């Protein structure tokens, strides 16, 4: 399964903000850290704010902060919400797609099982587990956040 770039950046932003704790970060700062396109990360920021994961404060002392405790942010739930429009293969679309093999294909069942296993693992992970308990990523993110 391949995650979209949008999902990838949403997870990165959440990780930066989890480590920043009380410090605010801007979309521009995170964009610059990753060499990403500002317009793309602005859309990611808007989604994170709309979904209640992040608060955004405008103005001179503004920036982004987590709205929820990192221990309460379930990674599987975040990815499921972001990837709900994407299907592994055409026949998994709601309309069934146009694959002529679909009526007799066992691949669909196997892919659904694999997808369930993928999300089962991610449903057991929180943002805190990805950042707070990770001895390597936390110092790296802190260093990047203050650069």
- Asked if residue 100 has pLDDT above 90, the reply is no
Residues 82, 89: Cα–Cα separation, whole Å: 17
pTM of the model: 0.85
Residues 124, 130: Cα–Cα separation, whole Å: 11
Residues 117, 111: Cα–Cα separation, whole Å: 10
pLDDT band at 96 (very low <50, low <70, confident <90, very high): low
CATH code, 40: 1.10.10.10
Kindly state the DSSP code that residue 137 receives in the 8-state scheme.
H
Instruction: For the chain, give the number of residues.
Output: 147
* DSSP letters for 31-62: HHHHT--HHHHHHHHHHHHHTTSEEEE-STT-
Domains: count for the chain = 1
116 or 95: whose pLDDT is higher? 116
pLDDT band at 22 (very low <50, low <70, confident <90, very high): confident
Report yes or no: 63 and 24 within 8 Å, Cβ to Cβ.
yes
**Domain residue limits at 54:** 5-146
């Amino acid at each position: 399964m391949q995650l979209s770039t949008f999902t990838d950046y949403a997870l990165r932003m959440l990780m930066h903000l989890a480590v920043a704790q009380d410090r605010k970060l801007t979309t521009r700062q995170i964009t610059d850290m990753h060499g990403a396109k500002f317009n793309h990360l602005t859309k990611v920021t808007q989604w994170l704010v709309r979904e209640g994961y992040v608060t955004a404060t405008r103005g001179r002392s503004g920036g982004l902060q987590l709205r929820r405790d990192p221990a309460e942010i379930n990674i599987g739930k975040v990815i499921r919400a972001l990837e709900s429009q994407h299907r592994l293969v055409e026949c998994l679309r709601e309309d069934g797609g146009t694959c002529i093999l679909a009526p007799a294909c066992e691949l669909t069942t196997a892919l659904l099982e694999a997808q369930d296993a993928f999300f089962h693992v991610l449903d057991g992970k929180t943002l805190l587990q990805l950042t707070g308990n990770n001895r390597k990523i936390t110092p790296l993110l802190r260093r990047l956040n203050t650069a």
